[in-house]
Amino acid sequence: MTFALYERVDNVGIITLNRPDRLNAISGAVLADFETALSEGLGDSLTSVLIVTGAGRAFCSGDDLQEYEAQAESEAAAKRHIQAIQQITRLLLGSEKPVIGAVHGYAVGGGFEWVLNCDIVVASEDLVAFFPEMDWGNFVTGGVTHLLPMTIGYQRTMELLILGEKQSAHRLNDLGIVNFVVPRDQMMQKAMEIARRIGEKSRTSIGRLKSMINQDLGIGLWRALDLEEAATVHAFLQPESADRVKRFTNRKSPKK
């Protein structure tokens, strides 16, 4: 099974995370297929703009904790996993093609980070996004430590990262993290509408605009990715983190 699909509709490339039975949770295979699909879309000369979305009931539910033990078995294993995550951000933000996020259901942890890596975000009204990393004794990736304060300010960044509370689509819109909030059945229609409007504009000018803006982000953003990698690898190797993740995955449903 391919866990990330690429297709082109006219000059719009659509990348779909395709692990719906696990709410598109991030596994090693998902990361590999996502990178492949992104590279295909970014390299497609007939594509002017990309849409990134998720199949099934969620955009992306974050790390697949069933793989945590293997990812944390050694520093090398943890580093490989985190580098693969950071590579997705490097592709999304380092390209000249604009990326539209069409997100719904859950965007958790790494999934929420990918929302922040998009240039324009269309959110379904049912979107719920949050960062669980501090509860797990883990750390954020995706350049969030650089991007989020620039987007919403210091105190709100600390609120979202430390408290890890669930955020609605409308709250994210108020914070400036998502651009449009629409009913679920209109999400892809709205994303395609925006993509087609972008596709009518100068590809060269938009490419230069994105490169210039992201070049200004550059030094701080790329350094943040490196620092996040080191912090996350360190967190993966801590007994506290393994214990917290184990307790979370083994939690029992509350009695009714």
253 pLDDT band, cuts 50/70/90, is: very low
In the chain, the domains with their CATH numbers are: 4-185 (3.90.226.10)
Q: Is the pLDDT of residue 254 over 90?
A: no
- In the prediction, which pLDDT does 222 show? 87
85 token code pair: 């995550």
Q: How many CB atoms lie within 10 A of CB 16?
A: 21
Span 213-234, pLDDT tens digits = 887 666 688 899 999 999 999 9
- In the prediction, which pLDDT does 256 show? 35
Instruction: Of 2-16, 102-116, 168-182, 204-218, give the lowest mean pLDDT range.
Output: 204-218
- For helices 75-94 and 28-43, the axis angle rounded to 10 degrees is 30
pTM of the model: 0.94
In 161-217, DSSP assigns E strands to: 167-168, 180-182
Span 67-83, pLDDT tens digits = 999 999 999 999 999 99
d(CA 130, CA 137): 15
d(CA 182, CA 138): 32
Per-residue pLDDT, averaged over 192-213, amounts to 95
Q: Is the pLDDT of residue 129 over 80?
A: yes
